[in-house]
Structure 1
Amino acid sequence: MKKIKALFKYTYKYRYRYFIGIIFLIIVDILQLVPPKLIGYITDSISNGTATTNYLIKYILYIVAIAVLMAVGRYVWRMYIIGTSRHVEYDVRNMYFKHLQELSANFYNNNKTGDLMALATNDLNAVRMALGPGIMMMTDSLTLTVTTIIIMMTINVKLTLLSLIPLPFITFTALKFGKTIHKRFLRVQRAFSKLTDMVQENFSGIRIVKSFVQEQKEYEKFIKENENYFDTNIALVKVVGIFHPLIEFIASLSFVMLLGAGGIFVIYGSISLGDFISFNMYLGNLVWPMMAVGQVINNIQRGFASLERIEKVMHETPEIADKKIVNVSSLDGDIVIKDLSFTYPGAIVPALKDINLEIKKGSTLGIIGRTGSSKSTLVNLLVRLYNIPEGKIFINGFDINKIPLKFLRKNIGFVSQEAFLFTSTVGENINLPFESLDMDKIIEASQDSDIYDNIMDFQDKFETIVGERGVTLSGGQKQRISIARALIKNPEILIFDDCLSAVDAKTEVKILESLKKIMRDRTSIIISHRISAVKDSNCIAVLDEGQIVEIGTHSKLLENKGLYYDIYEKQLLEQQIQEHEEVQA
């Protein structure tokens, strides 16, 4: 019962459409029962010798008129049942996608992309089949069964009871096979998810596959997953393959009984030949619902199986959500971090330990440290990609947990390490925060991020399609477009998370010079592995193994001769070697 409620809750919005469709379906089913009766009358009148030409034409016209009405009725119920199931599919897909957008980053750490894609395609289609053809066949078979049996009883009760003997066996068989179909269809959907995930991952990493000459190995992995999908499908087909012929065989026994018993009844005059022919046609009408039971069970069980998987995701709640929010009009104040420690979900060792920082309004904080020192983790918490306890981070005097999530992220320009671009034009990627294109703002942002000249060299300028994940651009170009995307927001806080790693030192200096005028009145955080990127910051924090080991200005940190000094010396030596090699070349 719980599954049925879950399956049909999505149809409530369209209950009137379904109601109209079901009414027309019932009307068509009732009309379908009239022609056999008319044919019986015609047969009896012919056998009795009472038939006339006008009599036959009249009944033939009745049958033609009923056929026309049935055709119109079938069109209406298809539009209002099958068509409505498409509306439901559309709504559920929208709800599903919107819900995925609201879920927190950690959800995607624990769920594969291919599995989520399979739910939006294969599984959702199975739900639609249950809410369209499933409802149609269930209503059709129930109406036809009840009305046909009633009419058959009016012809001959004994013959009807004999013909209905196989019915309980059909019900028993359908229930028995239904559970097996449900389990095996779940396995098919899981196998499809794994196959989809493998293919999606392979296409995304095709350049790595080719550069490491792993085409044959990946092909063999695909064959293995494809074989698994094939085997699970064959296992399902075997059950369905036995199920449908078995239902048909049991249903055909009714005809055998009718031919034997009905023939004797006609011979002894218990029923007329016309009644026998009508009865035979009614039994034909009854065989379809008997066989449809199998299809209904099949569709509904597939729908239940797929709905289980979809509902599991739909019942996921965002780990990060607004709670006890306050009215905030600006984020242009100080950022204060007090005794912050953070451990990733599922991890044992803390990523950050006892972090204490104060970033004054309008100042710039530089963060530097070895790889894996949790520099990115710190700024990820500033945009609340993960939950943190209350009383640890404050912006403009407000606890970060009480600042509305959308307001927080809208007013922070965040440029991450991964320069992700969408498959659209350069201009649309820069203009991502806004719906309508403002070319003046797009050009200004591209100039500030030092990507404008590159864009002007492209054949289609700002209309250039960047390809999937920005595949047509270099790493440095992608990073600078990402910076432009953050700058166009005109945010109150700017965060650059090692976003200049793919450009050379000279370009980095040029970009930073352009950014200085933008960062002048904004609170800014620059994370970098290069000292040249952070040396002009008002304050520099040096992280090591999740802890702040040094803090101060560039000159003060050099005087301390600690980790910062070691990094500086190493990079200075690397720069001298590079300059020497350039001179030699």
Structure 2
Amino acid sequence: MKHLATLNKYFLRYKWRFLLGLLFTAISIVFSIFQPILVRQIFDLLEQNLDSYHLIDHTSVKSAFRGQFSSVLAFYGLSILGFALLSGFFMFLQRQTLVVMSRFIEYDLKNAIYKHYQELDLSFYKIHRTGDLMSRITEDVSRVRMYVGPAVMYATRTVIMMVIIIYLMLKVNPLLTLYTLSPLPILAITIYFVNRIIHKKSEKIQAQLSNITTVAQESYSGIRVIKSYVQEDPSVKHFDDASEAYKKSSISLAKTDALYQPSMALMIGLSVVTTIFIGGMQVIKGNITVGNLAEFVIYVNMLTFPFFSIGWVASMIQRAAASQQRINEFLQVKPDISNPENPVDATFKGDIHFENINFMYSHTGIQALKNFNLKIKEGEKVAIIGRTGSGKTTLAQLLIRMFDPQSGKIKIDGIDIKEMSLESLRTQVSYVPQDLFLFSDSIANNIRFGAPGADMEAIKTAAKQASVEKDILQFPEGFETVIGERGVTLSGGQKQRVSIARGLLKDPNILVFDDCLSAVDARTEKEIIGNLYAFLKDKTAIIITHRIFSLFEFDKIIVLEEGRIIEEGTHEALLLKNGYYAEMYQRQQKGEEENVTE
């Protein structure tokens, strides 16, 4: 139960629903307990008056006696029906409080998990699979809900009913009670050992379910790649293998669960037989009445569901504990990137300084930046060029604190970015990433994502500056066109330009473009560069690229190689050095000439 203890705060949050649910449960049981007591009184009444009825069989009072006796029986019958209705009514109220409470807790828990997911940094997402995250917020939470709702409800009902019924049985005849309940310790031992097996198997099943979700999610996201490489059959085989493992484990768990009901039915059956045999002997000896025996048999039958539910509830608790353990593993993860206690509130002008930055990706051990130093003055336009893996994207992600360097400082306007709130920092820096992402929403809303309060006029202006407005207007629904999951409706170049428009709409003083023109043609690239040059006139801009934009007049061009600056200067100065940049420029020019010739 140590893993489930984290849910106690939710019971406190909904304590009035919880307490009322327990009260309604107790009242419902009390009304149901009256029914065997009334049955006992009916049997005793019949036994006491049967001889008297035979004595007056041929007398004139027989009819009056029968009418009076029938009235008494009708009263008892109506009383039993009334108590059954009252018990059912309070059982309805019990479900309305406890089960509804479980839905509220499920809602709160899902929101808490999702909120925590949003707070975790990129390092967490680099080592955890999407399918696993989805499984924990869906399947695991559903199993936890079964604990905070049905399991608590039935466990409470079982405990209260067993305490009251066993107390009443002991008052009637302790010896008969002892014989009746004698099979139950064996049942308890069976439950204990079976639950240990269920707990282990539940953990394994949840892990396999996460794997199935991951396999399916990756297949849906990469369906175009799968079809392009004709890998449908291997993909189906991969999913089938994962499903087969899950099926075998689920069947194994179902077989274990199947031990509960037969074992309980056996124990309950033994209790009924024992009750009738030993109780009959007690009736013959005159220690109890026939009514007491009938009452005992009803009590044993009333205990049937509580004892059946012991296994069911224990199974739900074990599964919930396994799921809550998985949930707690994530909830206890602390983000490496967090807000300072007293964040500095400042409006950026655009002066950026990287001081002796060293950064290594912890999950791969790759040293992305080594003793990196760079000063960018307010309003400067800087290009960062280098091969794949040279550390270009890392610089951008460090600037907006997706990661923190192991050593060194990054300052904006002289303030260490670790002293700023994440919201303030990221609001004032517009970052257009290399691995762009579009939502399954309208084009307008995807652009508006950069500035949620923007009107349609501002959205159209941003689209025009990103040279994507003409493409958008060709769609039948224009800016209201829903582009599908991850922007599947759009081409690669269109997705890049929509992403650029999103960044431009934000309109901060610092903009970072990470290789965001790789999928556009030369004419569109020239148009976008022209628009950007005008837009970035008074802003600080970092343009990360693997190609040279000779039409864009950069104040500074940085050439990276294995996390270090190997060349730095203007376009003309770097060409005169006749180094890596000049060689790259010549190769690019030669490639463009060959394309024109073709």
Greater shift, 425-434 or 269-278, is seen at 269-278
* Aligned equivalent of 1:163: 180
Q: Partners in 2 of 1:180 and 1:552 — Cα distance?
A: 68
Name which one, 1 or 2, has greater alpha-carbon Rg.
2
- 1:235 aligns to 2:252 (yes or no): yes
Q: Deviations over 1:40-66 (max 9, x none)?
A: 212222333376122122222212221
Q: Partners in 2 of 1:7 and 1:328 — Cα distance?
A: 37
User: Once the 2 structures are TM-superposed, how far is the Cα of residue 313 of structure 1 from its aligned partner?
Assistant: 0.3
- 1:45 aligns to 2:62 (yes or no): no
Q: Partners in 2 of 1:71 and 1:154 — Cα distance?
A: 27
Q: Partners in 1 of 2:424 and 2:477 — Cα distance?
A: 35
Greater shift, 379-388 or 45-54, is seen at 45-54
* Aligned equivalent of 2:282: 265
Q: Deviations over 1:395-450 (max 9, x none)?
A: 10001211211111011110011221001110110111344451111111111111
Greater shift, 480-489 or 58-67, is seen at 58-67
* Aligned equivalent of 1:574: 591
* Aligned equivalent of 1:501: 518
- 1:22 aligns to 2:22 (yes or no): yes
* Aligned equivalent of 1:125: 142
CA contact (8 A) 2:127 2:363 kept: no
- 1:3 aligns to 2:20 (yes or no): no
Q: 1:493 to 1:533 in 2, by over 3 A?
A: farther
CA contact (8 A) 2:430 2:512 kept: yes
SS at match of 1:384: coil
User: Once the 2 structures are TM-superposed, how far is the Cα of residue 33 of structure 1 from its aligned partner?
Assistant: 0.5
CA contact (8 A) 2:447 2:502 kept: yes
Within a 5 Å distance, the mapping from 1:433-452 to structure 2 comes to 433-436=450-453, 438-452=455-469
* Aligned equivalent of 2:480: 463
User: Once the 2 structures are TM-superposed, how far is the Cα of residue 547 of structure 1 from its aligned partner?
Assistant: 1.2
User: Once the 2 structures are TM-superposed, how far is the Cα of residue 12 of structure 1 from its aligned partner?
Assistant: 1.8
CA contact (8 A) 1:7 1:304 kept: no
SS at match of 2:389: coil
- 1:196 aligns to 2:213 (yes or no): yes
CA contact (8 A) 1:25 1:77 kept: yes
SS at match of 2:149: helix
* Aligned equivalent of 1:520: 537
Q: Partners in 2 of 1:270 and 1:14 — Cα distance?
A: 49
Q: Of the candidates 301, 325, 332, which is equivalent to residue 349 of structure 2?
A: 332
* Aligned equivalent of 1:290: 307
* Aligned equivalent of 1:384: 401
Q: Of the candidates 49, 57, 63, which is equivalent to residue 80 of structure 2?
A: 63
Q: Of the candidates 103, 128, 148, which is equivalent to residue 165 of structure 2?
A: 148
CA contact (8 A) 2:467 2:497 kept: yes
Q: Partners in 2 of 1:458 and 1:72 — Cα distance?
A: 59
CA contact (8 A) 2:21 2:98 kept: yes
CA contact (8 A) 2:550 2:571 kept: no
Q: 1:534 to 1:383 in 2, by over 3 A?
A: farther
CA contact (8 A) 1:423 1:469 kept: yes
- 1:184 aligns to 2:205 (yes or no): no
* Aligned equivalent of 1:223: 240
CA contact (8 A) 1:335 1:358 kept: yes
CA contact (8 A) 1:526 1:534 kept: no
Q: Partners in 2 of 1:2 and 1:188 — Cα distance?
A: 21
- 1:426 aligns to 2:443 (yes or no): yes
RMSD in angstroms over aligned alpha carbons? Answer: 1.5
* Aligned equivalent of 2:373: 356
Q: 1:58 to 1:505 in 2, by over 3 A?
A: same
Q: What amino acid maps onto 2:20 in structure 1?
A: I
- 1:208 aligns to 2:221 (yes or no): no
Q: Partners in 2 of 1:430 and 1:155 — Cα distance?
A: 78
Q: Partners in 2 of 1:440 and 1:71 — Cα distance?
A: 62
Q: What amino acid maps onto 1:470 in structure 2?
A: G
Q: Partners in 2 of 1:292 and 1:552 — Cα distance?
A: 77
User: Once the 2 structures are TM-superposed, how far is the Cα of residue 34 of structure 1 from its aligned partner?
Assistant: 0.4
SS at match of 1:143: helix
SS at match of 1:531: coil
SS at match of 2:425: helix
Q: Of the candidates 556, 560, 568, which is equivalent to residue 551 of structure 1?
A: 568
Q: Partners in 1 of 2:494 and 2:350 — Cα distance?
A: 32
SS at match of 2:372: strand
Q: Partners in 2 of 1:219 and 1:419 — Cα distance?
A: 28
CA contact (8 A) 2:359 2:406 kept: no
Q: Deviations over 1:459-486 (max 9, x none)?
A: 1111100100000000111111111111
CA contact (8 A) 1:428 1:437 kept: no
Q: 1:384 to 1:38 in 2, by over 3 A?
A: same
CA contact (8 A) 1:508 1:533 kept: no
SS at match of 1:224: helix
SS at match of 2:211: helix
SS at match of 2:441: coil
CA contact (8 A) 1:476 1:500 kept: yes
Q: 1:573 to 1:174 in 2, by over 3 A?
A: same
Greater shift, 56-65 or 439-448, is seen at 56-65
Q: Partners in 2 of 1:437 and 1:86 — Cα distance?
A: 36
CA contact (8 A) 1:376 1:497 kept: yes
CA contact (8 A) 2:351 2:376 kept: yes
CA contact (8 A) 1:496 1:526 kept: yes
SS at match of 1:106: helix
* Aligned equivalent of 1:244: 261
Q: Partners in 1 of 2:248 and 2:163 — Cα distance?
A: 40
Q: What amino acid maps onto 1:345 in structure 2?
A: S
Name stretches of at least 5 consecutive residues in structure 2 with no aligned partner. 51-67
Q: Deviations over 1:53-106 (max 9, x none)?
A: 221222222122212212221111101111110100000000000000100001
Q: Partners in 2 of 1:61 and 1:436 — Cα distance?
A: 67
* Aligned equivalent of 1:394: 411
User: Once the 2 structures are TM-superposed, how far is the Cα of residue 167 of structure 1 from its aligned partner?
Assistant: 2.0
Q: Partners in 1 of 2:550 and 2:422 — Cα distance?
A: 30
Greater shift, 428-437 or 392-401, is seen at 428-437
Q: What amino acid maps onto 1:358 in structure 2?
A: K
Identity of aligned residues (%): 38
CA contact (8 A) 1:8 1:131 kept: no
Q: Partners in 2 of 1:25 and 1:90 — Cα distance?
A: 24
Greater shift, 169-178 or 83-92, is seen at 169-178
Q: Partners in 2 of 1:3 and 1:337 — Cα distance?
A: 44
Q: What amino acid maps onto 2:230 in structure 1?
A: V
Q: Partners in 2 of 1:112 and 1:167 — Cα distance?
A: 46
Q: 1:391 to 1:72 in 2, by over 3 A?
A: same
Paired residues in the alignment total: 581
CA contact (8 A) 1:390 1:399 kept: no
SS at match of 1:385: coil
Q: TM-score, normalised by structure 1?
A: 0.97
SS at match of 1:74: helix
CA contact (8 A) 1:251 1:291 kept: no
* Aligned equivalent of 1:564: 581
CA contact (8 A) 2:349 2:413 kept: yes
Q: 1:391 to 1:419 in 2, by over 3 A?
A: closer
SS at match of 2:141: helix
Q: Partners in 1 of 2:337 and 2:143 — Cα distance?
A: 32
CA contact (8 A) 1:535 1:554 kept: no
Q: 1:204 to 1:492 in 2, by over 3 A?
A: same
User: Once the 2 structures are TM-superposed, how far is the Cα of residue 259 of structure 1 from its aligned partner?
Assistant: 1.7
SS at match of 1:541: strand
Q: 1:89 to 1:533 in 2, by over 3 A?
A: farther
User: Once the 2 structures are TM-superposed, how far is the Cα of residue 389 of structure 1 from its aligned partner?
Assistant: 4.6
